[in-house]
Structure 1
C-alpha cells in the first residue's frame, strides 16, 4: 500500500489536449463492484474458446486428474498475476495504454498498446465469425432447409455465412451505445445466463450417454513424459489469459476498492474457471459415448443433437457466450488502444468502431483457415505479450514501488515524457526480450517445440530482468519517483479524474 503524503498538487494540472480525452482519464464513478467484475470473468471464461481449451489439454497425453490438476495450478498462478494488474488499475484509475505511459513514455506507450490492439482486433474478427457459425446452427434448428440456401461463395465465405457474420458484427456494435456502462450491464446477465444453460446442456448430454462416460480422453502417451506435459498444461493455462494479464486494468479501474478486485478475481478465476472446465470435460467425454468420437467444438456438438429445443438453446448459449468473451477480451482493449493513439480525435466509441471495421475487412475466416497466419503471425504477436507484462510489472512494482503521479501522464513535458515521449530503455528491453520469445513460439524445430508452451513465461521473465537491469539507475525514473513521493497521490489522481 502506497504511503499517504500531505502535500497536495495544484487544482488545475497542466495537461495536454493531445494526450487526453474523457475516456482515458481516471473515472470519478467507481461502480464496478464485486459482482460486475465477477460477471466479467464469467463472460470471458464461458466461451467456445474456454470450452475447447480445457478439453484440448487432453491432447498433451494427460489423464483427467492431471488435466484438472494443471488447470487448477495454472489458474491460481493467473489469479495472483491478475491481481497485480488489477491493483495497479484500481489504484491509478488508468486503462492499459495510459498505464503503459508510466513505463514506455507518453508517446512510446503506443507501441505496447497497438501491439495488444492488433492481437485483439484479429481475434475479435475470428470470434465474431465463430459466433456466426452458432447462428447458422440456430437457424438450422428452427428451419432445417435454410442451411442449404446461400451457398454461393464471396471472398472465401458463403452468402449465408456472410449474413450470419454481419448479424453478429452489428449486434456487437450495439454495445457501443453507452460505452463501458452498456458493457457492464450486458456482462451482469450474460455470464450467469450461460452458466445456467451449460448445466442444462451437461445434464442432457449425460442423459443421452446413459450417465456412463470415461474421462480417459486420450490413448497417446505424453511425448516428453508426464511431468513435462503437466508443466506445459499449467503454462498454457496461464498463456490463455495472457491478453487480459495486460489489460485487466481496463476493468479494475472502475472498482471502488482493492477488496472488490481481489474477491472478484478469486471467485471469477480459480472457482469459476475450474467449475467450467469440469463441465467442458464432462460434455466432451459424453460426446464420445453418444457419437463414438470426441467432439471438442461445442457448436459442432450442439448441431448433432437431435432435439430442436436443445439445438436452439445451445446455439443461443454459445452465441451469447462468444459475444461475451469478444467484448471482454477483444473489444474493450483496441477501443482504448486506438483512443490512446489519437486522443483528440478518437474516443472509446470511435476506437471500438474502427476496430470492428478492421475486423470486418480482414475477412477473419481466411485468417483462421490459414495455418501460416494462425501459427506464425498471431503466435508471434502473442509471444510479445509476455515481455510487455514483465516490463510493466517490473517498472510499476519493483522500480517505482507503486509511486505514480497520474497527472504527469497527461502532460506533454511531464515526468513521463522521457526523450520526445519515448522511454528507449523500456523499448530496448522489450525488443531484446521478444526475440527469444518469438523464436520459441514460431520456429518449427524440436528444441523450440519443446519450449513453445513456456514462451509467455520466458518472455515475461526476460522482460522483467532486462528492464530492471537497464532502468534501475535511469535518471528520468528516479526523478519521477522522487517527485511522486512529494505529493498526495490520491489527491493528484482525483484532480484529473473525469
Structure 2
C-alpha cells in the first residue's frame, strides 16, 4: 500500500463525481490530492473519546508544565493559578468548539479551509505561518523530551555520564542519541497516517494521566500532605487580577496554533456532538486536573526544600525515587511524542501537501517536516531567548489575526455555508477565486491587525498587555474583515460539504 493510499484510507475516502454549481467543475491538481480531499461520513472514526484523549495528551506536555510551574515561580499563588486555568479553559472551549465545527461540517483540513477567506492562492500564507511555527516547536518539544530521556538513562546507567562530556553543534553525545531515537519514533508513527496517530494518543492518554496523578500524590505525601500556597512574594490587589488574566490569555496563546487548525482533526469526527463532548471533558475538566497536578508539584516541592522547579527536566530530576523517576520520565516522553504528533506534525504536513500537492503526500511531507525540524538545531533555538521571544513570538502573534479573519468569514459572512468543490478549482468564476486567487478584503484586514498584534507582543512599551496580543489581533482582524467592503456570499454557497461531491483530480 502506498503512502497516499494509506492516508486517503485513514482520512476518509475522497468524494467523487460531478461538482455542483455553475463554476468550479474542473478540479485543479495544484489544489487537490487525496490527502487534501474532504472526508466522507463513512470514513470518520474520531469519537468523543478520541477528542478527549487528544487534549489529555496535549495539555500535559513538557512545555505546558514548564509554563504553568513558571507561574508559581513568578509569584502567582495556588488559587491564582487555578483561577487562571478556569478562565483559560472557558475561552478555549468556546474557541475550539467554533473551530472544530468547521472541520466536521466540511471535512477539509485547515490549509483548504482557509481558502474560503484568503482565496485559493492567498491561503498558502496562513498555512505556511502555521506550519513554520509548528516545525520549530516540533524540534523544541523533541529536544525537551530528549532531555528527559537523557536524565532517565543516566539515572538507570550512571556510566552514561561520560557521554555528556563532549558535544557537537551544541548538543552532547547522549543528547544526540536521545534526540535521534525520539525523532525516528515520531517519523515512523506519523508516516502511517492519522488513524495510527488516533490510536497512539488513545493509548497514551490514560497512561499519562494515571502516572502524573501518582507522582502528584507521592509528592503531596512527601510534603506531609500540605502545600506552600505561594513562593513567598504573592501578588495583591489589582496587580493580582491582571496577572491572573494575563496567565489565562497566555495559556490561550499557547493553544493559538491548535485553535487555528483544529479542523485537521475534527474533519474525521463522527459528529458535532463528538467534538462538543470531547472538548467538554478534555478542556475544562482535563485542564483543571492539569492545574491541580501543577500546583501540587510546585507547592509540594517548595514545601519540602524551598526549591522552585525551574525547567521541564527538573520535573523528573527532583524525584529521589528511581522507580517513580522512571515512570514519570516514560510518561512525559510518551505524552511529548503524542503532543508533537498532534500539534506540531500534522499542521506542517498539511501545509507542505497544500504547497506541493502534485509532489508530496502525507508520508513524504512528514519526512520533510521532520528533517527541517532536525536541521534547524532546535536546542539552540530553545536556548536563545531572542529567537523564542522575537521570531517564534512574532510568528505566533500572527495567528490571532488569521483566526479572526477565517472565523469572521465562516460564521458572520457565510453563515457556515461553504461550496466545497470551489475550494479545489482555479475557475475564475468560482467562489474563492477572488482576484487572481487572493482575497483583497483579507489582506486589508490582516496587515494592520498583524502589525498591532506583533507590536503588542514584542515592543517593550506594551509589555503590560503583551500577553493579550493574540486576542487583540483576532478581534481587530475580525472587525476589520467584516467592516471592509468586499464581495458577499457566492450564490452557489448553499451547498455544504456533507451534501455535495468533489471530482477526483
> 1:299-310 maps to which residues of 2 (within 5 A)?
299-310=313-324
Aligned equivalent of 2:243, options 229, 234, 240: 229
Which SS does the other structure have where 1:149 is aligned? helix
CA–CA separation in structure 2 for the residues paired with 1:129 and 1:374: 14
CA–CA separation in structure 2 for the residues paired with 1:192 and 1:361: 33
Q: CA deviation at 1:10?
A: 7.4
- Are 1:483 and 2:492 counterparts? yes
Aligned equivalent of 2:39, options 7, 24, 27: 27
CA–CA separation in structure 1 for the residues paired with 2:180 and 2:293: 31
Q: Deviations over 1:439-467 (max 9, x none)?
A: 1111123xx10110110111001110111
Q: CA deviation at 1:177?
A: 3.3
- Are 1:217 and 2:217 counterparts? no
CA contact (8 A) 2:420 2:502 kept: no
CA–CA separation in structure 2 for the residues paired with 1:59 and 1:288: 10
> 1:457-472 maps to which residues of 2 (within 5 A)?
457-470=471-484
CA–CA separation in structure 2 for the residues paired with 1:154 and 1:495: 51
Structure 2 equivalent of residue 350 of structure 1:
364
Aligned equivalent of 1:442, options 458, 468, 473: 458
Aligned equivalent of 2:289, options 267, 275, 297: 275
Which SS does the other structure have where 2:460 is aligned? coil
- Are 1:318 and 2:329 counterparts? no
Aligned equivalent of 1:88, options 102, 105, 115: 102
CA–CA separation in structure 2 for the residues paired with 1:70 and 1:151: 42
CA–CA separation in structure 2 for the residues paired with 1:66 and 1:292: 20
CA–CA separation in structure 1 for the residues paired with 2:345 and 2:294: 25
Please, which moves more after superposition, 98-107 or 12-21?
12-21
CA contact (8 A) 1:287 1:301 kept: no
CA contact (8 A) 1:59 1:218 kept: no
Aligned equivalent of 1:474, options 464, 468, 486: 486
CA–CA separation in structure 1 for the residues paired with 2:504 and 2:30: 17
Please, which moves more after superposition, 452-461 or 68-77?
68-77
Structure 2 equivalent of residue 14 of structure 1:
26
> 1:218-257 maps to which residues of 2 (within 5 A)?
218-221=232-235, 225-257=239-271
- Tell me: CA distance 1:271–1:496, structure 2 relative to 1, closer, same or farther (3 Å): farther
CA contact (8 A) 1:51 1:277 kept: no
CA contact (8 A) 2:115 2:121 kept: yes
CA–CA separation in structure 2 for the residues paired with 1:328 and 1:122: 14
Structure 1 equivalent of residue 15 of structure 2:
none
CA–CA separation in structure 1 for the residues paired with 2:124 and 2:368: 16
Structure 1 equivalent of residue 404 of structure 2:
390
Structure 1 equivalent of residue 169 of structure 2:
155
- Tell me: CA distance 1:119–1:224, structure 2 relative to 1, closer, same or farther (3 Å): farther
CA contact (8 A) 2:122 2:437 kept: yes
Structure 2 equivalent of residue 4 of structure 1:
none
CA–CA separation in structure 1 for the residues paired with 2:182 and 2:175: 11
Please, which moves more after superposition, 34-43 or 223-232?
223-232
CA contact (8 A) 2:65 2:312 kept: yes
Structure 1 equivalent of residue 273 of structure 2:
259
Query: What RMSD over aligned residues (CA atoms) do the two structures have, in Å?
Result: 2.0
> 1:332-347 maps to which residues of 2 (within 5 A)?
332-347=346-361
TM-score (norm. length: structure 1): 0.93
- Tell me: CA distance 1:380–1:98, structure 2 relative to 1, closer, same or farther (3 Å): same
Aligned equivalent of 2:442, options 412, 423, 426: 426
Structure 1 equivalent of residue 414 of structure 2:
400
- Tell me: CA distance 1:222–1:356, structure 2 relative to 1, closer, same or farther (3 Å): farther
Please, which moves more after superposition, 199-208 or 115-124?
199-208
Q: Deviations over 1:139-176 (max 9, x none)?
A: 11210221232421111111111111111111111112
- Tell me: CA distance 1:375–1:223, structure 2 relative to 1, closer, same or farther (3 Å): farther
CA–CA separation in structure 2 for the residues paired with 1:381 and 1:191: 30
Structure 2 equivalent of residue 77 of structure 1:
91
Structure 1 equivalent of residue 3 of structure 2:
none
CA–CA separation in structure 2 for the residues paired with 1:104 and 1:266: 31
- Are 1:183 and 2:192 counterparts? no
CA–CA separation in structure 1 for the residues paired with 2:496 and 2:64: 42
- Are 1:49 and 2:63 counterparts? yes
Q: Which runs of 5+ in 2 are unaligned?
A: 1-17
Q: Which runs of 5+ in 1 are unaligned?
A: 1-6
Please, which moves more after superposition, 9-18 or 200-209?
9-18
Q: CA deviation at 1:489?
A: 5.1
